[in-house]
Amino acid sequence: MSSLDTPVYTEATAKPEPRQVALSHLSVEVGHLYMEDLLGGEERIRTQFRRVAPWLTAVRQAQAVELGGVKPRISTCFLIDDYFRPDTDPSVIVPQLLDIAAECGIQIDYLAREAGCHEAERVPLAEVTAAMLLPEPPVGTTGSRPPVQDSGWLCNGERSPDNTGRQAMMPAVAWAPAEEFGKRNHSIFLDVELWKDQTVTVDGVRRVERKWSCPFLAAVWQLVRLGQLRYAGEPVAQPQPWSGSWPRHWRDLPAVVQLSERPQPFSAYRTASILPKTYLKIEHAVTVILDHLDLDDAVVAQTARRAEAEGLRLPAQLTDRVAHVFIEPAESRAERAW
């Protein structure tokens, strides 16, 4: 029997090495405005970018100091809120956004769609991420609350006891405060809604439709920026260049559009987001979600090896690679009048 005829045995669960993605040192999100802000006039967008500009400079300088003598690879991105407002017109919004950003000295390398965090190139990114959820059941739980996969709610600790559904003649459960896992002195308890299932009728057929929450889509957004999501071992939501006029519908755009001619890679070892402080609650929820994900070990190990080869110190905890700068939001007309 020749060597070619020798049978080869492999584990049934063996998976090929996930395909690598190019990585910058840092991905900087240069703002994230709600769609009503983008539709609220140029001055509102301009005010936000003017406030972002000095912080972007500071973030760049901080990254250069962190890397010592290594020239930092830094890319910039902006996330468009098209998931909850798909009825708006990108051919009007995108040119205005990019013109004002350039006027304020901000170059946006990549433009991403929030709906692309739900599904990109027919890959259900939100469902892929939801399948990785690994909730922490509280000690002594009675099972009165359904698991996160059924309820769509995720918390960072132990909820207060639930007295609903108590059998007759059984003693009442004493009230106790909610308690955060890993608290320091006092608890900061957070219960996050990840999605909401609704029954809709389409062409006379009733079906259940899942609406993902803003925090959950923002968690997917962080995973994509950190290069931690794969589907069948392949990268997802990879940037695609765009030329010509902008379409009238967001769905006609890729999940991530490459705007610059030769930018640094979209995904990065670390992320920083410069956001209006109204997003603080959402980003707290994002941290809770990321802390409850069972990530692909092969992707995690691959990223760690690459960082080590570059001489980089990469925190083991994913949320330690995510940074934020919260700035004052642009005032609405009503706030200015007040």
Cα–Cα distance for residue pair 285/281, rounded to 1 Å:
6
pLDDT of residue 3: 43
Q: Give, in order, the Cα–Cα distances in Å from 160 to each of 167, 173, 177.
A: 18, 10, 5
pLDDT of residue 244: 87
pLDDT of residue 181: 84
φ and ψ at residue 187, rounded to 5 degrees: -85, 145
Cα–Cα distance for residue pair 125/170, rounded to 1 Å:
45
Please say whether the beta carbons of 46 and 99 come within 8 A. Answer: no
CB atoms within 10 A of CB 180: 16
Query: How is 245-304 classified by DSSP, letter by letter?
Result: SPPSSGGGS-SEEE-SSSPPPSSEEEEEEEEEGGGHHHHHHHHHHHHTB---HHHHHHHH
Q: Is 168 exposed, middle or buried (0-12, 13-18, 19+ CB in 10 A)?
A: exposed
Query: How is 169-187 classified by DSSP, letter by letter?
Result: TSPPPPP---EETT-BSB-
Please say whether the beta carbons of 310 and 72 come within 8 A. Answer: no
The DSSP code for 118 is T
Dihedral Cα 253, 258, 259, 260, nearest 10 deg: -170
Q: Three-class SS string for 34-52?
A: CHHHHCCCHHHHHHHHHHH
φ and ψ at residue 33, rounded to 5 degrees: -105, 145
In order along its 338 residues, the chain shows pLDDT tens digits of 444 444 544 454 556 789 999 999 999 999 888 899 999 889 999 999 999 999 999 999 999 999 998 999 999 999 999 999 999 999 999 999 999 999 999 999 999 999 999 999 999 999 999 999 987 665 555 555 678 888 899 998 888 776 655 555 556 667 788 888 888 889 999 999 999 998 888 888 899 899 999 999 999 999 999 999 999 999 999 999 998 899 999 999 999 999 999 999 999 999 999 999 999 999 999 999 999 999 999 999 999 999 999 999 999 999 999 999 999 987 644 344 33
pLDDT of residue 174: 77
pLDDT of residue 201: 85
pLDDT of residue 150: 83
Dihedral Cα 53, 89, 38, 261, nearest 10 deg: 0
